[in-house]
Amino acid sequence: MTPRRVAAVIGFPVGHSLSPAIHQAAFDAAGVPWTYAAFEVLPGCGGAAVEAMRTLGLGGLSVTMPHKEDVADAVDRLDPAAVALRSANTVSWDGDELVGSSTDGDGFVASLTEAGCSVDGASVAVLGAGGAARSVIDALGRAGARSIAVINRTPAAAEVAAALAPVAHVAPVEVLAGVDVVVNATSVGMGADASLPCSPELLSGRQVVADLVYHPLRTPLLAAAERVGAGTVDGLGMLVHQAALQQLAWLGETPDPAVMRAAAERALAARR
C-alpha cells in the first residue's frame, strides 16, 4: 500500500483557513493518498516549520500570515514570483531541495481567465498595496497587462507595490473610471463591513470588478458593480486557483478547481 503523505497549512491564527477543506476534497476526488492538516505556528517560527517539513517528510506546505517572509528565507530556493515579492505561500520538494513559491497572483489571474476576462492588453486598477495587492500586481505585469494603476492611501507603500511591474504606476482613485478591470485588494467589505473601497460612481458596465474578499462572497463592492452592469469576480476564485497551483507544485498534476470551489462553498455555508 502506498504510504499516506501529509501536507499542511501553517499560520497564526489558522483555524479560519479554508485550505484543509479545499485541499482534502481535491486529494480525495483524485484518489491521491494524501492528508491535509492545519498547524498553528507561533509568529517567528516559520523557519522552524520549514525544518520540521524536512525532518517529518511532509509532502508540502501552504503558508499564510505571518510566516510568508520567514519561510522565504528558510527554503533552499525561490521561484521568480517569490523572489520578487520576498515571500512564499507554498513549499514543495524538488529532489532534496525545498522550493518556495508564490501562487496567489497567478491564482488571481487564473480566476479572471475562468470568468472570461483576459488580462493581456488590459488596463487595471488595484486598490491596496499590501501583500495580496503586491502579488496581484506582480502577476498582472507578467500576464501582459497594458497598465496597472496602484491606488493606496499611503503613497510610499503604493510606490513599493508599483515597482513590481514595469507597467505599474501610482495613481489617484479617479482613474478607476477609465480602466478595464478594477481589483479590490484591501480588506474593505469583509465580514459585516458594509463600506466600499471606492465610490460606486466610478464604476461602469463596461468593466470587470474583482474583489479578493470572499467572506461574504457578494461583497458591497461586487453588489455595486452588479447594479451598474459590470462583470464581477469574487474572491473565492483566487483562493481556489492558488490552491490548485500548490497541488500542481506538490504532485505534478492539476486538480479539479470545480471540486475545490464546491468544498470551499460548503465550508463557508457551514460557518454561516
The three state secondary structure string of 80-123 is HHHHHHCCCCEEEEECCEEEEECCHHHHHHHHHHHCCCCCCCCE
The pLDDT assigned to 3 comes to 65
Is residue 219 flagged as an active site residue? Answer: no
How many helices and strands (H and E) does the chain possess? 10, 12
153 shares its domain with 132? yes
Question: Do 242 and 230 share a structural domain?
Answer: no
Q: Does residue 112 sit in the same domain as residue 218?
A: yes
The contacts of residue 225 (CB under 8 Å, 6+ apart) are 182, 200, 203, 207, 209, 231, 232
Is the full-model pTM beyond 0.75? yes
pLDDT at residue 1, rounded to an integer: 40
pLDDT score for 4: 79
Amino acid at 1: M
Q: Which residues contact 153 (CB under 8 A, 6 or more apart)?
A: none
Regarding whether 118 and 75 lie in a shared domain, the answer is: no
* pLDDT under 70: residue ranges of the chain: 1-3
CATH number of the CATH domain containing 33:
3.40.50.10860
Residues 109 and 169 in one domain: yes
Q: Are 110 and 93 in the same domain? A: no
DSSP helix/strand/coil, 209: strand
Active-site entry in 23, 67, 68, 261: 68
Structural domain of 146: 105-234
Taking each helix axis as running N to C, give the angle between helix 236-251 and helix 19-30, from 0 to 180 degrees, rounded to the nearest 10. Answer: 50
Treating both helix axes as pointing N-terminal to C-terminal, what angle do 257-271 and 19-30 enclose, rounded to 10 degrees?
140
Please indicate, yes or no, whether residues 170 and 140 belong to a single structural domain of this protein: yes
Give the tens place of pLDDT for each residue, 43-55: 999 999 999 999 9
For the chain, how many structural domains are there in total?
2
Residue 256 and residue 200 share a domain: no
What does each C-alpha distance from 206 to 50, 106, 115, 155 come to in angstroms?
Answer: 45, 24, 15, 28
Instruction: State the CATH number of the domain containing residue 118.
Output: 3.40.50.720
Question: Are 137 and 210 contained in the same domain?
Answer: yes
pLDDT for 271 equals 83
Residues 110 and 225 grouped into a single domain: yes
Please tell me whether residues 229 and 242 are part of one structural domain: no
- Is the domain of 182 the same as that of 248? no
- In terms of DSSP H, where are the helices of the chain? 19-30, 46-56, 68-74, 80-85, 104-114, 131-142, 155-162, 220-227, 236-251, 257-271
